[in-house]
Amino acid sequence: MRIILNNSSMVPIYEQLMDQIKNEIISGSLAENEILPSVRSLSAELRISALTVKKAYDKLEEEGFVVTVHGKGTYVAATDKQLALEARKKTVEDDFAAAVQKAGSIGLTKDEIMEIVRILLEE
Amino acid sequence: MVIIDNLAKNYGGFRLNVSMEIPNGTVTGIIGKNGAGKTTIIKAILGLIRPDEGHVTINGIESTALSGADKAGIGVALSDSGFSRYLDLKDVICILKKMYPTFDEDFFRKSCAAQGLALDKKLKDYSTGMHAKLRVLTAISHKADLLIMDEPTAGLDVEARNEILDMLRQYLSDNENCSILLTSHISSDIESLCDDIYLINDGKIILHEDTDTVLSNYAILKVNDDDYEKLDKSYILSTKKENFGYVCFTNEKQFYVDNYPDIIIENGKIDDLILMMTGGK
């Protein structure tokens, strides 16, 4: 597992950790049933508190990405990759929706919005 | 598990009065300015001073009644190792073997070599950093379930501090159930190691929070006078007047991020916590 954390980011550390583990699961670099590092060893490696790692693991379990077997460790769950990808697509759509709404609130027209998107895509 | 129940200790004009808990398997940090009472708490846990009021128990045993065997199960690093300066490491090993039945000589020798502590050098010729490493190695080489460290990184350069913290991290990773209590006024040490933080000032606990919560929910807001007037101050913990306006400290970062997109919001750090909670108005 290759995790890079940004300590000065506004995104909480446990969320950064969750996102990166999710990415590895979706991309397949973490295979189903593979064991994740123990909470303490990952916290030592990343130099963050163990509770932060535990929080990330707990939330990943809530979302069905991993399973923790008490006394044994945390494993990558059998996830439906298609479903996981859909979920991520949904968050992108939500971000777009918010941007469109903001654009509407300051009176940008549909063409103007499309123009912004076109410029962004060309960059 | 260490439970401190309404511990009080009076020293002339100073009064310490705290309650806290160190559950098994957690790393707890006590931060506070010099003279806030950090070392007094540690001494009370170890039974080195008698509380004027209240109780301190370690796994259910009153700290003043701990037996030698109970104490051997605790790894301690105080501000002084207590070894005579005229001894060398070979002598220290003899002492530790007698003191701790579970002393792991092999681990101790290997770790000393890895940290560059020479076996036949007198302790009086050790540098500050070498003394600090020896104190920590003494505490972690007899498989204690509870480590109590008073300022393990005080007075060290950043590299030596990191080496000491890495030793503790390795110990935590090898001994999944062990707990650590440490005091420090170096906030980055606390941020990167502790699960739980107690901030004490003038003998009292003024804040107790998960490290994670401090780092993700606490923030510094920088506002000018006009914005300050308009600001909803429901979640402001403390405020300081500055040239440009006000610096406010909050434990509800998201509220201000969502409602005041134009003001400057910085992530809360533990240093800010100390400055704003002990000095602000």
DSSP 8-class letter at A35: B
User: How many residues belong to chain A?
Assistant: 123
Closest CA to B233 of B252, B218, B216: B252
User: Which run of H or of E encompasses A68?
Assistant: strand A66-69
Q: What is the mean pLDDT of chain B?
A: 90
- B215 and A40 in contact by Cβ < 8 A? no
Residue A77 Cα, gap to closest chain B Cα (Å): 24
Interface confidence (ipTM) of the complex: 0.72
| Class of residue B177 by CB neighbours under 10 A (exposed 0-12, middle 13-18, buried 19+) | exposed
Contact list in B for residue A43 (CB cut-off 8 A) is: 169, 172-173
pLDDT digits (tens, 9 = 90+) for B76-108: 999 888 899 999 999 999 999 999 999 999 999
Helices (H), B175-281: 187-193, 211-217, 225-230, 253-259, 270-279
Mean pLDDT of B200-214: 90
Least CB–CB distance from A47: residue in B27, B192, B196: B192
B216 → chain A, closest CA residue: A12
A44 → chain B, closest CA residue: B169
For residue B194, pLDDT over 50 is answered with: yes
The residues of chain A scoring below 70 in pLDDT are: none
For residue B142, pLDDT over 60 is answered with: yes
Interface A-B: count of C-beta contacts within 8 A: 51
Residue A105 Cα, gap to closest chain B Cα (Å): 16
- Give residue B203's region: left, alpha or beta (phi > 0; psi -120 to 50): left
pLDDT (0 to 100) of residue B279: 67
Return the half-sphere exposure (C-beta side, CA atoms, 13 A cut-off) of residue A40: 17
SS3 A62: helix
